[in-house]
Amino acid sequence: MDFEFYNWMLVFLRVSAFLLVLPFFTMSNFPIMMRVAVGAIIALLIAPILPVFPLDKMQFIPVLGVMVQEVSVGLLLGFVSRMIFYAVDIAGSIISTEMGLNMATILDPMTQQSSQIAGTMLMFLATVTMFSLNLHHWMLLGFENTYTVLPIGTAHLSSALFQNVVTQTSRVFLLALQISAPVISGSFSITLVFAVLSRAVPEMNIFSEMYGFRVVGGMIVFGFTLQLTAQYVANYLNRLPDDLLVVAHMMGGG
């Protein structure tokens, strides 16, 4: 029974660190006790299927090292899972800048901080897409499968792991550019048209006249591309279990 408790405790540390990074569970109005309860239940489901880890036969310093190791693994897996939300946040910032609304901010209920309107809308869209399509089940399934290639207490750093994380991080900026590309192209087209008009009608105040068209045109294009953004989010989350397995495999020495 002690061994099962030790397994549950170590799994709970990795699960809690994993949930700590995910956007929905990090909302300021999300009860901490609920987050702890979710982590405890998930650990209770995973721990019985894992081999017994002899934690009681280890000294204090090695035990502390294993606990820190499991927390670090959970944080890294959570960071990889949250990359899509970083991408939509960056895309929202780019879209707000192109539309001329970068100074218009609202209160983000997830962080209780001021956020740009487009970024907040895309963040909610990504969260709703994840839960409405049950893609969070895939995320949890991928997390559970990491124990097959990365058992408790076997994680370590490597150059391959660093390169993989950097590669996945670069995908964040590529995905953000893909999401914001329609608005960028629309804003560029409007700017190009008014640049031609400024040569034809020098008396026209280009900056004041162009601002309204950029806002309206950007909002129209942004509205029509929300479905495309949801598809990007769904595609990323569908392949997330494989990404988590790759990262776990590299941490396990693969």
Each residue's pLDDT tens digit, 141-171: 889 889 988 888 888 888 888 888 888 888 8
What is the pLDDT confidence band of residue 97, given thresholds at 50, 70 and 90? Answer: confident
Q: Are 181 and 232 in contact (CB under 8 A)?
A: no
Confidence at residue 16, expressed as pLDDT on a 0 to 100 scale: 92
On the question of pLDDT at 104 being above 70, the answer is no
Residue 107's pLDDT band (boundaries 50, 70, 90)?
A: low
Q: Which domain holds residue 131?
A: 2-251
Residue 95 has pLDDT above 50, yes or no: yes
**Between 113 and 207, residue with greater pLDDT:** 207
pLDDT in tens, 27-60: 767 778 888 898 999 999 898 888 888 777 888 8
- Structural domains of the chain, count: 1
Query: What local confidence, expressed as pLDDT, does residue 231 receive?
Result: 92
246 or 104, higher pLDDT: 246
Cα–Cα distance for residue pair 148/245, rounded to 1 Å: 9
Q: Write down the mean pLDDT value for the chain.
A: 84
Q: What is the model's pTM?
A: 0.84
| pLDDT, average across residues 165-193 | 89
